[in-house]
Amino acid sequence: MVLGALVVCLVGINAAQEAMGVFPDDLNLRGDYAVNDNTHFHHHHHHHHPGFHNHFDNDDEMGEVDENSKSDGSNGTLQIPLDFIKDLNQHNVSDLLLHYIEEDAVFLQDRFGGDEAEERSAATIPKGAPCMPELQTVNIAASDDPSVLYIPQCTRVERCGGCCSHHLLACQPETKEEIPFKVIKTQYTGGKKLKVLSKEVILVEKHTKCKCDCKVRAEDCNRFQEYRKSECRCACTNYDEEKKCNKNSLTKLWNPDLCACQCRETMQCSTGSYFDQNECKCLPTPVKRRFAPFQRRSYRTQPFPIVPLDDD
């Protein structure tokens, strides 16, 4: 009697689940979690729900995404936009923490106690190294002659240095000037003395103002490319050739750096053959036919004899 009631109850539950569009496989009732009144089940078999709506197809429900942000393709994370990085490079660490960190972000403080808390309290936020002129060691002069020595051989001058927080940017001089340095050119002739050869004035470049700028410049682009300053790259303009290359994707590969279609694989060909870049395979070397040189005959024009006219 009890067994029959239990069977009827189970049948009724299954019928109710099917009517609601919920199937036993979707519930995953294997002890992973308990089912309560607040548990919400969503059915993933789309063929059972013709009117199924993907709630994540609309960007408005997922939150706005910067159009300049791109996924790196590995785990779906967004790359920091290049223009945003350029803006961050204009500020020091204090300004970044004050103006560019979310207000609800809370830094870890001494809340746990113990040795770890003491280590954290002893740590300090390092001073940033923004893009700016800084003293760097540079060579003043050098000679191919191993017996020649310039005094001094090197010095420290201000050159651009610091980080720009993006692989497409580098700390570069915006303004610079040349500083004249007087050095003494000497030569070792033996013993413990150096012979003075001359005094020379050498100009050394000093950077007075720096900025984070693109590593790739307009002059780096070839004739098939246009320079895009906002993206710090050279973009191909020969779109038709790229489409043709992609049609032969089994053997050809488009090179975006050179804007050229290249063979996926190259090989060493045997004697009597060569590797053809269009066919991407070895072809017989064409035989060059030799022809005997054409000899032109030199013709000499003979003057016509002058026949005197009769007087009568």
For residues 203 and 228, membership in a common domain is answered with: no
Q: What is the DSSP letter of 267?
A: -
Q: What is the mean pLDDT of residues 227-245?
A: 94
Tell me the C-alpha distance between 268 and 279, whole Å: 14
- State the Rg of the chain over Cα: 40
Residue 268 lies in a domain: yes
For residues 203 and 144, membership in a common domain is answered with: yes
What dihedral angle (degrees, nearest 10) is formed by the CA atoms of 230, 232, 236, 237? 30
Tell me the C-alpha distance between 291 and 12, whole Å: 98
For residues 225 and 278, membership in a common domain is answered with: yes
Is there a contact between 274 and 285 (Cβ–Cβ < 8 Å)?
A: yes
User: Which residues form the domain of 193?
Assistant: 132-215
What is residue 312's predicted lDDT score, i.e. its pLDDT?
A: 52
What is residue 30's predicted lDDT score, i.e. its pLDDT?
A: 38
Domain boundary among 163, 198, 215: 215
Q: What is the mean pLDDT of residues 75-82?
A: 78
Residue 155 lies in a domain: yes
Q: What is the DSSP letter of 288?
A: P
**How far is the CA of 308 from the CAs of 212, 302, 305, in angstroms?**
98, 18, 9
139 vs 32, higher pLDDT:
139
Say how many domains are in the chain: 2
Percent over 70 (pLDDT), the chain: 62
What is residue 1's predicted lDDT score, i.e. its pLDDT?
A: 46
Residue 241 lies in a domain: yes
pLDDT at 173 over 50: yes
Tell me the C-alpha distance between 255 and 261, whole Å: 6
pLDDT at 286 over 80: yes
